[in-house]
Structure 1
């Protein structure tokens, strides 16, 4: 008989249930008495058989309070599995019990709302909150609210936004779990950038809240492993935390006998800045500059690589257009091979150096593009940024040489010496000292970076 009852539960067969009750009016009481097993009501709630559950509860409404060995009531199972219609029916019964079902806890101290939140059942959570608004303040054994549980869900951003907007509770936004973590701490630890950006838009959120380890969300972001998309969140969090901290300047404690006649020393002694905050602010300013510089260098590198490629394909003086023949040009005899450079045969030495410097400019530009588009974060004190700066100098020098050899091949020497050589001599005389000082400073920077790397390695 019992096997038939559970088989009817699995199928949601209400006709069989009615027949079994007719044959044995105590069959439901007998099944509920087995506390070590799942009852038919739990099984039907788990599978979402609303009509079957409704039929059982019409016979015995008190069965809705029965829990299994894990402490789950039918409400727990229906909420965890997202059976909205079944939850609505159980909530109607819960009206007569003072929301006892809605606030009942399982063996781990979790309410049906907690389970719905953990599983991401947004519609079920909405029904529970409308029927029992006070359940929102129920916390788990770890003192976690439904907002904490939502942040822990990797796909909980949509649910979090709905909950924050509907609840509009400053207390919940800044609630701390047993480790002192707010939802902002949890989002920072999990690198949930989208969640953090949304939370930072909430004016009632405490940006400088510290957990039991004395860490703010900003400290967690700076201390953890860095990702390429961390910087935007760090900058926003740093600015928001700094603005919020302006209203939280603690007074220095003085002995009781001094406080009566003490002068306000805060106005006389400079305020010592938080070292982490100062570091993050400096990094933020440096990154802003690097972002703009990165864009400009990328445009320059793409442009020069394009021009150097075009110049190599279409060299100064053009290419032979006629068929294979022999032509006399200034006492020389040249083979007019179609597509071959004219200057490559007339001035082979200059043309070779022209191509050498053009190739260097092209390769250096391409290496800059590769360095700037690699996924790791660009920092002004890294060897990679030093490499980009070096390649910039190589590109500039190569473009100068390409210009000199290119112009030399297409104009007369007397014009070349006056119109090109003299301006270049003047230019390098003016900027030569600057170039030498810049190059020396780069050498010093690389030496310092190598020394710091060696020191860290040998600590």
Structure 2
């Protein structure tokens, strides 16, 4: 409390301890000492009406509250202070203390502005709250620094008994009417968050407190916070069905609940309930059916939110209640089907299609159907499902406002898996031209990086290879300008710098592999035959299968790494044509991982020879570890097959497409060249050595078991 402009009365240490611990005996003792000094008759206000004198304090916003403090001070009579709910509450209360310093202990505050009643209310000390209310009943509406009243604190903590006693303050008849009005006004006091007591009870999930407050004043449910959020909206956000039921329960005379359903950004409580559960949505929908078609600021209805969160039960409830909601679009023109496709919800698409037979006519503001949206957002399961269902055949070649088919979009957004799913359907046409006069192959060609080599798993490269193998047609507009490859712009310089960094890294790796492989050749496992024996100086285990495999693997690792090193040196020479340097870098990038694979194989075979038959279990463990390393050190070698690109090519053009032999070759050299450039060869040669090395490991284990000395 403030005296004058600066002085503040703090709660006494003993009193604060009694309040926080709930020590009623100590509190009564402290209050008894403070109140000692007797009393007397209360003189009137000088007008002969016998009521206590009033001190008038200017109101902050016109909303007045009479603050009654039942204090006695020797010669002074009780004082009733008319205070404001807003403005400067501590100064208002302090005005009544100037003549009653002896009672300042009960009206002191903490550093956060909490009164004694705030402290006991937040801790659930109902009996102490009643004692304080008898001494200063108007503290029920006194706010702290956060503008929380004791009611806010009790409701937030879920102390139902405290809330009940604060709203039923026992007092004498002279102040009963005024204090009743104060209690009613306190129910609608807002804290710094703009929340009422009911908001706080709902936010913290205290259903019993909510039920009591609704019984006391059902109109509280119609009060929204400063940001327009109603208690019902908050309850729906928590997902509590009992809480929502308490807010929507009719009064005793059957009057409908006056609850507001308002929320942020124009959303309603049903928008939020749609993201939680069907039971919660059913409660609100039964109370107010019109909310089913109410839109938010973005034009979305609750069905859009249910789809976005994958709530199948809620979707079925909405469609059963009103099937026409499946044809309501949002501000972007997206229908529920579009939202389901974007979210990748295949089962939800089935549900909506069953209620919406004209689904193929539903397009958004950009002319896209829901297959376009699924492709654009990379929803492979939805695209595959649509391609395999004859009901959706009309969607496969439909164009949007830019003339793009789903195949165009799969190329544009670089989704090779979706391209594969589309090409596996014979209904999909690959020669459709969009508004810019470009086919899907044209878009793929334009997306290829020019002037530098590219990673074989680059999505654009995979898409171009696939379309090239199925002989997708292109147009003259899709061919890049001849001078584009030689452009020495800033972008070209950046690409060159990236290429140089990759070359340096590859050179370091290849040199390390060559060094290790060279050293391993002269430190063979098992040692050498002594000089006094036949075949002196030769390897002791030279006749073992594992040793032969070790030698072959080490030699391959050394050879591949040396060749890769030479190629990388040439790739860094500035006087060599750029196209040649790119070719050298591309070859070297494939040789270095192969060298690493064979070095791992040599490691495994070497351990086999060192461990011998006495540690067969450990030997098998080493082989398993090396097999995993061999299969994984060349990242992504299985991805083209995993994406189904080979399957798409096979279905479109047969084995000739996989082998790039679309017509009879004129010579053997042409056949070899076609095969070397084919999708089949490119995606077999990469995992080939990994499979061969793993198979050799298995043979070594089998021979060690069957023929220990072989």
- Shorter-chain TM-score bucket reads 0.5 to 0.7
- Find the counterpart in structure 1 of residue 91 from structure 2: none
Contact residue 41 and residue 56 of structure 1 kept, 8 A: yes
Pairing partner for 1:6 from 187, 195, 199: 199
Contact residue 242 and residue 277 of structure 1 kept, 8 A: no
Change (3 A) 1:170 1:43: same
Pairing partner for 1:143 from 324, 333, 337: 333
Change (3 A) 1:194 1:220: same
Change (3 A) 1:321 1:435: farther
Pairing partner for 1:157 from 336, 340, 345: 345
How far off is 1:91 after superposition? 2.6
Pairing partner for 2:412 from 208, 217, 223: 223
- Find the counterpart in structure 1 of residue 17 from structure 2: none
Change (3 A) 1:435 1:93: closer
How far off is 1:132 after superposition? 2.0
Pairing partner for 1:72 from 239, 246, 267: 267
Pairing partner for 1:91 from 285, 298, 301: 285
Deviations 1:94-126 (A, max 9, x none): 4xxxx4121111222111111211233222222
Pairing partner for 2:381 from 189, 194, 198: 194
How far off is 1:322 after superposition? 7.7
Change (3 A) 1:37 1:276: closer
Contact residue 175 and residue 182 of structure 1 kept, 8 A: yes
Give the secondary-structure state (helix, strand or coil) at the position aligned to 2:362: coil
How far off is 1:85 after superposition? 1.7
Give the secondary-structure state (helix, strand or coil) at the position aligned to 1:335: coil
In the alignment of these two chains, the number of paired residues is 310
Change (3 A) 1:85 1:36: same
Of Structure 1 and Structure 2, the greater helix share is in: 1
Q: Distance in 2 between matches of 1:175 and 1:36?
A: 36
Contact residue 181 and residue 210 of structure 1 kept, 8 A: yes
Change (3 A) 1:371 1:110: closer
Change (3 A) 1:25 1:436: closer
TM-score w.r.t. length of structure 1: 0.53
Q: Distance in 2 between matches of 1:440 and 1:202?
A: 40
Taking the TM superposition and a 5 Å limit, the aligned residue runs for 1:30-429 are 31=223, 37-57=228-248, 58-59=250-251, 61=256, 63=258, 66-68=261-263, 70-80=265-275, 82-94=276-288, 99-153=289-343, 156-163=344-351, 166-167=354-355, 169-205=356-392, 206=394, 207-225=396-414, 227=416, 229=417, 231-236=419-424, 239-242=426-429, 276=439, 287=469, 324-325=531-532, 335=536, 337=538, 339=540, 359=556, 363=560, 366=594, 373=637
How far off is 1:61 after superposition? 3.5
Deviations 1:234-289 (A, max 9, x none): 4225x3223999xxxxxxxxxxxxxxxxxxxxxxxxxxxx9837889996586479
Change (3 A) 1:442 1:35: closer
Q: Distance in 2 between matches of 1:7 and 1:286?
A: 64
Q: Distance in 1 between matches of 2:429 and 2:423?
A: 11
TM-score w.r.t. length of structure 2: 0.36
Q: Distance in 1 between matches of 2:257 and 2:419?
A: 56
Q: Distance in 1 between matches of 2:200 and 2:306?
A: 27
Q: Distance in 2 between matches of 1:178 and 1:118?
A: 19
- Find the counterpart in structure 1 of residue 168 from structure 2: none
Q: Distance in 1 between matches of 2:673 and 2:305?
A: 64
Computed over aligned residues only, the root mean square deviation of the Cα atoms, in angstroms, reads 5.0
Q: Distance in 2 between matches of 1:225 and 1:108?
A: 29
How far off is 1:143 after superposition? 1.6
How far off is 1:336 after superposition? 6.7
How far off is 1:438 after superposition? 7.4
How far off is 1:145 after superposition? 1.0
Change (3 A) 1:325 1:231: farther
How far off is 1:77 after superposition? 2.0
Give 5+ residue unaligned stretches, structure 1. Answer: 246-273, 290-312, 314-318, 328-333, 343-353, 381-388, 390-433, 444-459
- Find the counterpart in structure 2 of residue 428 from structure 1: none
Q: Distance in 2 between matches of 1:193 and 1:232?
A: 10
Q: Distance in 2 between matches of 1:215 and 1:341?
A: 65
Contact residue 334 and residue 363 of structure 2 kept, 8 A: yes
Change (3 A) 1:282 1:172: same
How far off is 1:27 after superposition? 3.7
Give the secondary-structure state (helix, strand or coil) at the position aligned to 2:332: coil
How far off is 1:166 after superposition? 4.4
Q: Which has the higher contact order (CA 8 A, sep 6+)?
A: 1
Q: Distance in 2 between matches of 1:196 and 1:137?
A: 21
How far off is 1:208 after superposition? 1.0
How far off is 1:199 after superposition? 1.3
Contact residue 37 and residue 69 of structure 1 kept, 8 A: yes
